[in-house]
A and B are shown apart, each in its own frame.
Chain A
Amino acid sequence: DIVMTQSPLSLPVTPGEPASISCRSSQSLLHSKGYNCLDWYLQKPGQPPQLLIYLGSNRASGVPDRFSGSGSGTDFTLKISRVEAEDAGVYYCMEGLQARTFGQGTKVEIK
């Protein structure tokens, strides 16, 4: 089974400052067709997860361009260029290669 490990698990951020979350997988997430099968979701309290980034670096429809995803193989990063108050919530990475395992989640709090 693929294990997904996120860090940090808690991230206090100041509005206007950048933020970064790391996600590591225990196996390569490289698909046979060359895609990196890693997605990022944001879950706000009382809401379902919303897809931010799919296949490593593709922003989902309607996602602000301050969000970006990068990485390949086993190491991936979600970056927020300038955090806004509405970005608070729990961020999850998820591997889409096998069982669609999620990471533990990173709670982003706005200072």
Chain B
Amino acid sequence: QITLKESGPTLVKPTQTLTLTCTFSGFSLNSDGVAVGWIRQPPGKALEWLALIYWDDDIYYSPSLTNRLTITKDTSRNQVVLTMTNMNPVDTATYYCSRGSRIGAYNTPYYFPYWGQGTLVTISS
């Protein structure tokens, strides 16, 4: 059974750095064709992809946030960590992590059927 759970602070002050951890079970991020990503959703608004890390250490960042994001994986702990610098009240959102699988052989698309429940992070002084 594949599960993912997000953890981190619920309240962060403006200009501080946010560190979120996605702890997962039921799979290994060392396995060919696996990826874990972070997605956020401001209250009442649409979803936004932030970052993605692949089994082979390839990384993707949202072009609009690339300067503020770092994603890393710790395969021994089954964790993926996202850091976001210079937090602002507009970054208030529920942050989700999701596990993706490649549809087939190398250079085929990924799809994301597994999601954590999300964690709400509020940016306020």
Contact = CB atoms under 8 A, between A and B. Distances in A.
Q: Tell me, yes or no, whether A binds B.
A: yes
Interface of A: 1, 31-33, 35, 37, 39, 41, 43, 47-51, 54-55, 60-61, 92, 94, 96-97, 99-105
A99 B49 contact: yes
Q: Which 7 pairs between the two chains have the least Cβ-Cβ distance?
A: A54-B111, A48-B115, A100-B49, A102-B47, A51-B113, A37-B109, A35-B109
B107 A33 contact: yes
B49 A48 contact: no
A54 B41 CA distance: 21
B54 interface: no
Contacts of A101: 49
Interface in B75-100: 96
Interface of B: 37, 46-49, 52, 62-63, 96, 103-104, 107-113, 115-118
A50 B62 CA distance: 22
A51 B117 contact: no
A31 B110 CA distance: 11
Nearest to A41: B47
A48 B118 contact: yes
Contacts of A104: 46
B115 A39 contact: no
B115 A50 contact: yes
Nearest to A63: B113
9 contacts: A31-B108, A33-B107, A35-B109, A43-B47, A51-B111, A92-B46, A92-B47, A100-B52, A102-B49
A99 B96 contact: no
Q: Most chain-A CB neighbours within 10 Å: which of B37, B104, B111, B118?
A: B111
Nearest to A50: B115
A17 B35 CA distance: 38
B110 A103 contact: no
A4 B110 CA distance: 18
A61 B113 contact: yes
